[in-house]
Structure 1
Amino acid sequence: MNILVCIKQVPDMESRFKVNAAGNWYEDTDLAWRMNEYDEYAVEQAVQLKEQVGAAELTVLCIGPERVKETMKKALAMGADKGMHILDPDSHQRDPMTIAAVIADYVRQHNFDLIFTGMQSQDRGSAQVGVLVAEMLGIPSLTTLVEFSYADGTISAKRELEGGSRALVSCNTPALVTCQLGLNKPRYPTLPNIMKAKKKELLTAPLADFSPPELQQQTVAVFLPEKRGGGLILEGDPAELAEQLLKIIKDKTTVLA
């Protein structure tokens, strides 16, 4: 069985973010970097499947600058067999359609049975890349999975729907699945596995090798939310509070009018 898991390197969400000089993304200096949280669940599920079926090879794919290799090494230490790094220093400027097209091109060259991705990335949050890859490859996709099982070429899973309800779904491979928080408990790489990961194959190829299409979307501007004023605390007995509240509403209504 040939398995692929796609990951992304994102800033630690505890970092202090600043808009870059161009005003179209965040400044990437002085940030701590980590694997996208949703992708950790994807890696863990892919490793569990590899352990279940036995005869399987698991490849981890990541698009980005040179620094993403450090994040890829974590996936290798978790149990992936080899890594494919598509070198693109400007990956943050690519729209979901472009990223998906590059991944789909790589998949066509290697005939994967099952592809795992995170539900979405923590920095851009479009939740589009996984389903776009499946559409481009003409294979089914099961999204926002919170339960997963595999037997005899069939995936059975539960999807999380809005409002907390769940749907039971299934499909045959080849297929793509996107993983939601809570699907599993990602393992912590042990020191021996971290050392083994250093010896695993980690290839790099330039973005140009995968014929990326022209951008369909462009991030025009990124900005921090405007600061809002503090709340107003009213004090007094109920009659006074009601009178104060009515006055505030009338004043606000007058201003808006």
Structure 2
Amino acid sequence: MKILVCIKQVPDMESRFRPDASGVWYSEIDMAFRVNEYDEYAIEEAVRLKEKLGGEPELTVLSLGPDRVVEGIKKALAMGCDRGIHVQDSASQLKDPWQIASAIAASARGENYDLIFTGLQSQDRGSAQVGTMVAELLEYSCATTVIGFEYAEGSVTVKRELEGGLRAVVRLKTPALVTCQLGLNQPRYPTLPNIMKAKKKEILTVPVSELLHEEPRTVMAGFYAPAKKGTGVVLEGDVADQVDKLIGILKDKTGLLR
């Protein structure tokens, strides 16, 4: 059995985002990076499956991006993955979801993976398209927003979270791809012995030019911060006075209550 986990390295969401010189993405100056949160659920679920099956499956982790994404691959290896694939691309931020999915599918095609795990979406772009596109390109069955996962020989049963608090249970035949959501599991912290073991595991580097021959379907036109809004007003005094002040503000600012 062969399993693939696809991960992305994203900025720490507490970072201060600024447009880069081109104005189409954010500047990486003074940025801290981490593995995308949803992808950590995918790693954990894949490792749990490997452990449940007695360590028999071969578990590969793949990440597309510049050289810094190797740190994310190493974390996945320390969590329990067996080998890594770095699809090297110094301009990954300019690739649209279709191109990224095409590169991943090209790498996976011919490897005969039984299962592919991805995160629901990336925290920086948030398109939630790459996983489903990979499944389509590879002709795999697919389920998204997975918060429950069970494997049986030749099939998987997943619990999906839908809008409005609803849930659905779906059974898929393998080969299959699932996108993982918050609530599926609690990702483990890599232990020091496993971090040391990860240093000896293979990381294969493949230039994206060897995999990708697709033109973009969409192009990023601009990246900018929302316009700053005015500051709030704090009303003080008794409740009755605050109500009178609020009504006066609504009359002056919005023309309401006239």
Partner Cα distance (2:59, 2:230) in 1: 51
> How much does 1:73 deviate?
0.3
| Structure 1 equivalent of residue 94 of structure 2 | 93
| Structure 2 equivalent of residue 67 of structure 1 | 68
> How much does 1:70 deviate?
1.1
> How much does 1:134 deviate?
0.8
**1:10 correspondence with 2:10:** yes
TM-score normalized by the length of structure 2: 0.92
State the AA in 2 paired with 1:105.
A
**1:81 correspondence with 2:120:** no
State the AA in 2 paired with 1:143.
T
State the AA in 1 paired with 2:58.
E
Is the alpha carbon distance of 1:241 and 1:186 closer, same or farther for their aligned partners in structure 2, counting shifts above 3 Å? Answer: closer
Q: What do the CA deviations read for 1:83-108 (whole angstroms, capped 9, x no partner)?
A: 01010000011100110111111111
Deviates more, 1:142-151 or 1:240-249: 240-249
Q: What do the CA deviations read for 1:188-239 (whole angstroms, capped 9, x no partner)?
A: 1111111111111100010111133011111111111122112334567777
State the AA in 1 paired with 2:130.
V
| Structure 2 equivalent of residue 42 of structure 1 | 42
> How much does 1:157 deviate?
1.1
> What secondary structure sits across from 1:117 in the alignment?
strand
**1:121 correspondence with 2:122:** yes
| Structure 2 equivalent of residue 188 of structure 1 | 189
Give the unaligned 5+ runs of structure 2.
Answer: none
**1:214 correspondence with 2:220:** no
- Aligned residues between the structures: 255
> How much does 1:146 deviate?
0.8
> What secondary structure sits across from 1:73 in the alignment?
helix
Partner Cα distance (2:88, 2:239) in 1: 65
Partner Cα distance (1:212, 1:123) in 2: 25
| Structure 1 equivalent of residue 25 of structure 2 | 25
**1:159 correspondence with 2:157:** no
Partner Cα distance (1:9, 1:178) in 2: 16
Q: What do the CA deviations read for 1:149-170 (whole angstroms, capped 9, x no partner)?
A: 1011211111111122211111
State the AA in 2 paired with 1:10.
V
TM-score normalized by the length of structure 1: 0.93
> What secondary structure sits across from 1:135 in the alignment?
helix
> Percent identical across equivalent pairs?
59
* Coordinate RMSD, CA, aligned: 1.8
Whether the aligned pair in 1 keeps the contact of 2:99 and 2:212 (CA below 8 Å) is no
> How much does 1:60 deviate?
0.3
Whether the aligned pair in 1 keeps the contact of 2:102 and 2:214 (CA below 8 Å) is yes
**1:201 correspondence with 2:218:** no
